[in-house]
Amino acid sequence: MKYQVSQQSAAEVQAACIVVTIDQSGKLSDAAKLIDEASNGFLTQRFEEGDIKGKSGETLLLPAVSGIAAKRVLLVGTGKEAPKATSAIKILNAIANATLKREGEVALAISELASDELPESWWAEQAAIAFTGNSYKFTETKPQPEDAPKQADSVSWIGSDVSAALLKGAAIGEGMNFAKELGNMPPNICTPTWLAEQAIALTADSSLETTILDQEKLAEMGAGAFYSVAKGSSEPGKIIVMQYKGAENADEAPHMVLGKGITFDTGGISLKPGAKMDEMKYDMCGAASVFGTVKALLALKPKINVLAMVTSAENMPAGNASKPGDVVTSLSGKTIEILNTDAEGRLVLCDALTYGIDNYKPASVVDIATLTGACMAALGNVNSGLFTQDEDMAEQLQSAAAYSQDKVWRLPLEDDYQELLDSNFADMANIGGPLAGATTAACFLSRFTEGTPWAHLDIAGTAWNGGAAKGATGRPVALLVNYLLNK
């Protein structure tokens, strides 16, 4: 889908559909007034007759109106007050859903919605994300219909030159779609080896270098925490290292993003209940978000260095799988008593943190993981959990989250929680008991990041939707891309 800027008026633009707005009091935007005047008050009549009430996100698709060039008019409600960020995204998604199946050009005459808080460039960026994201549909393992569904060819923004914002939004949208596709792929296809192949395919872009560390090599290196998880599966585990080199100084310290990529999580010997276990294919959505972020960076080409890592394995209950009570030695040399094999994400992540920090000396580290049900219970599917003791990191991630509306909520990471990980038989246990589960998981990871600015995002509640709407969300790609671009 192409995105472009148009200087034509709403009445002149030759599009398959022109989008204009009306608020809940019946006030038309200036663009809508042009169409209303050209059509002898047709839009005003629609409000007066109750066809549309102007509620936020409400849409009314109208046929060709005399006096204008567009073939259709989409009248969109904006509510009682100037839209805030949350309602703005609701409006944009409503527009995308109402117009995407129209072939040809969709013209957006909505620049008047811009404000000091939400400038025109923000609206344009979010519009591109909405259109790109709403065009996604998983079809890889479903029979294709004989007739492909219709889809808009292009989206035109009527207003200021916001080309850069449209490009950024399209790149983020494509990155989110890539993350959704990886997350939605069934686990018999999406294995650690398959994920490594996706990384290698991305190296067609010369600004990306990829290294694959296989399970046996990692075991030889002493990555005993990672190996304790991977060894229980017939699918070999891997750590995938992607280096995006965009900075003018090739030696500039990279910013590291690390994604948990458990392509299927049975819980291991600490077996999960059978209900909804199919959704454990989404336990690699942290990895998917890193892939999506790389995809967006390759499109945008920012002048930064990024170390994008994925630690991938299956967690299976085989005869050689780890058992509760086992003690393993991590790549850092620290020993870990495994009390619950379903707390495997932190085991694969800790060795990847050690490897990335020791070998690449990153300027900062963010890890992203579907790590704990405790975080999901606390925050639901609205906010991802943010953990860090670095105030600069917290501010940067919260700022990127507020801008992108890829929301986070900061949860405690105080030293007082560390003692919950005490073990009689190792340097630490891999769980901290029934209380503060999301925090003790973050405490565990923090022990492998000493001396490096680090933050942890627990996306267990935000990475996918269940039920009838089951599917990966593509979060937190938008947050990560904005965070890295702000660097």
CATH number, position 336: 3.40.630.10
Do residues 150 and 241 both lie within one domain?
no
Contacts 24+ apart (CB under 8 A), 343-346: 343/430, 343/431, 343/441, 344/229, 344/262, 344/265, 344/268, 344/313, 344/315, 345/260, 345/262, 345/283, 345/369, 345/370, 345/371, 345/441, 346/371, 346/430, 346/441, 346/444, 346/445
Catalytic residue among 346, 407, 447, 475: 346
pLDDT at position 100:
87
Question: CA 125, CA 162: separation in Å to the nearest integer?
Answer: 8
Beta bridge partners of 259: 310, 368
Out of 123, 157, 191, a domain closes at 157
What contacts 444, CB < 8 A, 6 or more positions away? 346, 350, 421, 428, 430, 432
Do residues 315 and 463 both lie within one domain?
yes
Contacts 24+ apart (CB under 8 A), 30-34: 30/112, 31/109, 31/110, 31/112, 31/158, 32/75, 32/109, 34/9, 34/10, 34/68
Per residue in 218-268, pLDDT (tens digit) is 999 999 999 999 999 999 999 999 999 999 999 999 999 999 999 999 999
Do residues 377 and 419 both lie within one domain?
yes
Out of 129, 157, 185, a domain closes at 157
Radius of gyration for the chain, computed over Cα atoms and rounded to the nearest angstrom: 24
Domain contains 162 = no
Rounded to a whole number of angstroms, the distance between the first and last alpha carbons of the chain is: 28
Tokens 């690390």 sit on residue: 258
Do residues 188 and 126 both lie within one domain?
no
Do residues 150 and 194 both lie within one domain?
no
Per residue in 204-220, pLDDT (tens digit) is 999 999 999 999 999 99
Question: CA 20, CA 42: separation in Å to the nearest integer?
Answer: 13
Do residues 43 and 70 both lie within one domain?
yes
Do residues 267 and 391 both lie within one domain?
yes
| Domain count across the chain | 2
Domain contains 433 = yes
Domain contains 169 = no
Do residues 273 and 411 both lie within one domain?
yes
**CB contact at 8 A, 430 and 444:** yes
Do residues 355 and 467 both lie within one domain?
yes
pLDDT at position 146:
59
Annotate 228-250 with b (16+ C-beta within 10 A) or e (fewer): bbbbbbebbbbbbbbbbbbbeee
Domain that holds residue 127: 2-157
User: Closest Cα to residue 183, out of 314, 289, 41, 317?
Assistant: 289
Helix (H, G, I), strand (E, B) or coil at 229: helix
CATH number, position 98: 3.40.220.10
Strands (E), 246-360: 255-265, 305-315, 327-329, 335-337
Question: CA 300, CA 487: separation in Å to the nearest integer?
Answer: 14
Domain contains 168 = no
- Whether 272 is a known active-site residue: answer yes
**CB contact at 8 A, 63 and 55:** no
Domain contains 75 = yes
Domain contains 58 = yes
Out of 113, 132, 157, a domain closes at 157
Q: Which two tokens stand for residue 31?
A: 């663009």
Domain contains 314 = yes
Contacts 24+ apart (CB under 8 A), 148-153: 149/101, 150/101, 150/102, 150/103, 151/1, 151/100, 151/101, 151/103, 152/1, 152/16, 152/99, 152/100, 152/101, 152/102, 152/103, 152/104, 152/105, 152/106, 153/1, 153/2, 153/103, 153/104, 153/105
CB atoms within 10 A of CB 483: 26
**Residue type, position 256, single letter:** M
Tokens 């979060």 sit on residue: 475
Catalytic residue among 55, 84, 90, 272: 272
- Whether 346 is a known active-site residue: answer yes
Task: For the full predicted model, state whether its pTM sits above 0.95.
Answer: yes
User: Cis ω on the peptide bond leading into residue 324 (within 30° of 0)?
Assistant: no
Domain contains 392 = yes
Question: CA 333, CA 438: separation in Å to the nearest integer?
Answer: 24
Query: Any idea what DSSP says for residue 445?
Result: H
Do residues 242 and 150 both lie within one domain?
no
Do residues 289 and 250 both lie within one domain?
yes
Q: Give just the sign of the alpha carbon dihedral 217, 222, 226, 228.
A: positive
Do residues 205 and 132 both lie within one domain?
no
What contacts 47, CB < 8 A, 6 or more positions away? 22, 26, 53, 54
Helix 85-99 vs helix 120-134: crossing angle, to nearest 10: 50
The pLDDT averaged over each successive group of 10 residues in the chain (487 residues) is 94 95 97 95 97 98 92 97 96 95 91 97 98 94 70 93 98 98 98 98 95 97 98 98 96 98 98 97 98 98 98 98 98 98 98 98 98 98 98 98 98 98 98 97 98 98 96 98 97
